[in-house]
């Protein structure tokens, strides 16, 4: 099998990596940038820190802080208008996956024509975008190193998935200190998203030796650090471990693929606004149970890597430990079942289950799962997870 591998040409990791922003913008020849972030980042002062860091190096910035969680097409268009108006030559994203995804698409649309929806799917971007520096503050989506962006189309209630090497940021500044302020519920949600990236990248039909190494490194760190980061938000070791896990998970899944969990999770986010990591977490046990027969040895390795099965356990025994382990992890992190999520009602949810199954299949992700489902199997899995 031939496997393509895309990551940013420059990834700077470690304490204080954030302070490299101006130096990196200078290196890229930028004198004016658009800063893409959200309201929390402005309130917390991180947006201002970025502006000051740039200004001290003589780089002007305009700030677009209007990104909503699960960014919409309108967020992208508003940011693009400010990009043009401000005369920027590049984009800086500071925030979780939402500001980073929005910034990726703004940077791409700066050199490619509208409408946005023509880029949905794989490898549809004609021209390289303008330079993009991505600085994650959650650990996380891994979006700082991926060629993926997820933008919500509110008219059709679909989370559009765009995948293209031309969406890979030019520079990623990966600084775990920016994640220290995450409250426990956010730490859990984004941490299980990271775990899902590691697992799906590893069991994907498109997995390769390059992605395997990164996926297992991600899974091992999540096993070691997620619960500590959740319980003790000030634990620097755990925060650093989870930040690296997120970045490695991103490098892995973007170059193999996410699979059925993400395929089923995006429609739940689009229609019911369940945060991405939470809907992944709620679907992960049921989808893993369904998928086990297609990749038993791989799932066994996942269980051993998480420390949930002994090194000497048979593949069947190790794989069997995985589903109860994932269910127990959700309970410990206080992530509810789908049916217990505030605001979700059974009748409304299953009224649209067929549409969600169709949208999941249309995204292409389920086609890379160890067991490939049809629409009826997906609806049955929503039922299992409920
Ligand atoms: N492009 C990719 O490769 C990729 C991968 C996975 C998920 N995603 C997408 O990313 C989005 C989710 O991103 P996310 O989970 O990082 O959350 P997010 O960016 O939507 O942020 C969630 C909330 O957390 C706040 N927040 C962010 N950093 C914080 C911090 N350090 N301290 C306190 N609060 C903080 C934000 O202000 C926001 O209110 C979804 O749209 C999802 O589909 C993209
Ligand atoms: Fe994800």
- Does residue 225 contact residue 241 with C-beta atoms inside 8 Å? yes
Band (1; pLDDT cuts 50, 70, 90):
confident
Indicate the DSSP class of residue 145: G
3-class secondary-structure state, position 14: coil
Q: What is the pLDDT of residues 300-324, one digit of tens each?
A: 999 999 999 999 999 999 999 999 9
**With 90 as the cut, is the pLDDT of residue 154 above it?**
no
> Using CA atoms, how far apart are residues 244 and 64, in angstroms rounded to an integer?
27
Q: Positive or negative, the Cα torsion across 279, 280, 285, 290? A: positive
CA-based angle 195:197:199, to the nearest 5? 70
Res 264: pLDDT = 97
Distance of CA 292 to the CA centre of its chain: 23
What are 72's two structure tokens? 């919409």
- Does residue 163 contact residue 143 with C-beta atoms inside 8 Å? no
Give the residue-averaged pLDDT of 115-130: 96
Q: Which one of the ligands is nearest to 65 CA?
A: 1
Res 378: pLDDT = 98
> Ligand 1 centroid vs 310 CA: distance in angstroms?
34
3-class secondary-structure state, position 152: strand
Res 212: pLDDT = 98
- Does residue 79 contact residue 102 with C-beta atoms inside 8 Å? yes
Domain with CATH 3.40.50.1970 in the chain: 10-179
Q: Which of 45, 49, 76, 97 for a ligand 1 pocket mutation test, highest count of atoms within 8 Å of Cβ?
A: 97
Band (155; pLDDT cuts 50, 70, 90):
confident
Q: What is the pLDDT of residues 71-84, one digit of tens each?
A: 999 999 999 999 99
pTM over 0.95: yes
- Contacts by 223-230 with C-beta closer than 8 Å and gap 24+? 223/305, 223/306, 223/307, 223/308, 224/307, 226/187, 226/188, 226/191, 226/192, 226/194, 226/195, 226/329, 226/333, 227/329, 227/332, 227/333, 229/139, 229/187, 229/191, 230/184, 230/187, 230/188, 230/191, 230/333
Domain with CATH 1.20.1090.10 in the chain: 185-385
What would you report as the CA-atom Rg of the chain, rounded to the nearest whole angstrom?
Answer: 20
Q: What is the pLDDT of residues 96-121, one digit of tens each?
A: 999 999 999 999 999 999 999 999 99
> Ligand 1 centroid vs 297 CA: distance in angstroms?
32
Strand partners, 134: 93, 172
Band (157; pLDDT cuts 50, 70, 90):
confident
Assigned architecture for domain 185-385: Up-down Bundle (1.20)
Res 159: pLDDT = 87
User: Domain 10-179, CATH 3.40.50.2300 — does that match?
Assistant: no
When the pLDDT of each residue in the chain is averaged and rounded to a whole number, the result is 97
Which residues does ligand 1 sit against, CB inside 6 Å?
A: 38, 40, 69-70, 95-98, 101, 137-138, 140-143, 146, 148-150, 178-179, 181-182, 186, 190, 193, 250, 276-277
> Using CA atoms, how far apart are residues 207 and 52, in angstroms rounded to an integer?
42
3-state helix, strand, coil in the chain (%, to 5): 60, 10, 30
Look at ligand 1, atom 12, and give the residue with the nearest C-alpha.
97
């Amino acid at each position: 099998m031939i496997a393509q591998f895309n990551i940013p040409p420059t990834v700077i990791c470690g304490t204080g990596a954030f302070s490299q922003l101006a130096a990196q913008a200078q290196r890229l020849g930028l004198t004016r940038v658009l800063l893409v972030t959200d309201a929390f980042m402005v309130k917390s002062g991180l947006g201002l820190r970025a502006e000051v860091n740039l200004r001290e190096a003589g780089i002007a910035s305009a700030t677009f802080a209007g990104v909503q969680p699960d960014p919409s097409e309108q967020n992208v268009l508003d940011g693009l208008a400010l990009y043009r108006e401000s005369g920027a030559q590049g984009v800086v994203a500071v925030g979780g996956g939402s500001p980073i995804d929005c910034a990726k698409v703004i940077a791409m649309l700066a050199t490619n024509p509208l409408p946005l929806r023509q880029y949905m799917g794989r490898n549809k971007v004609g021209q390289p975008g303008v330079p993009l520096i991505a600085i994650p503050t959650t650990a996380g989506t891994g979006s700082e190193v991926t060629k993926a962006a997820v933008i919500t189309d509110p008219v059709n209630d679909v989370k559009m998935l765009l995948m293209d090497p031309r969406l890979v940021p030019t520079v990623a500044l990966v600084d775990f200190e920016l994640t220290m302020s995450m409250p426990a519920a956010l730490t859990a949600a984004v941490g299980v998203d990271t775990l899902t990236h590691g697992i799906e990248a590893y069991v994907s039909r498109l997995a390769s030796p390059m992605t395997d190494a990164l996926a297992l490194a991600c899974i091992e760190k999540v096993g070691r650090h997620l619960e500590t980061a959740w319980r003790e938000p000030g634990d620097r070791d755990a925060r650093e471990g989870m930040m690296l896990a997120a970045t490695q998970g991103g490098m892995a899944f973007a170059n193999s693929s996410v699979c059925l969990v993400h395929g089923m999770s995006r429609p739940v986010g689009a229609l019911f606004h369940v945060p991405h990591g939470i809907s992944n977490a709620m679907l992960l046990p049921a989808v893993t149970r369904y998928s086990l027969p297609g990749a038993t040895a791989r799932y066994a390795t996942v269980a051993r890597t998480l420390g949930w099965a002994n090194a000497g356990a048979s593949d069947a025994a190790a794989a069997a430990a995985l589903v109860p382990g994932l269910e127990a992890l959700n309970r410990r992190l206080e992530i509810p079942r789908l049916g217990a999520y505030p605001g979700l009602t059974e009748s409304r949810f299953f009224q649209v289950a067929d549409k969600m199954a169709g949208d999941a299949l249309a995204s292409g992700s389920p086609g890379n799962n160890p067991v490939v489902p049809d629409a009826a199997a997906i609806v049955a899995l929503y039922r299992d997870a409920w």
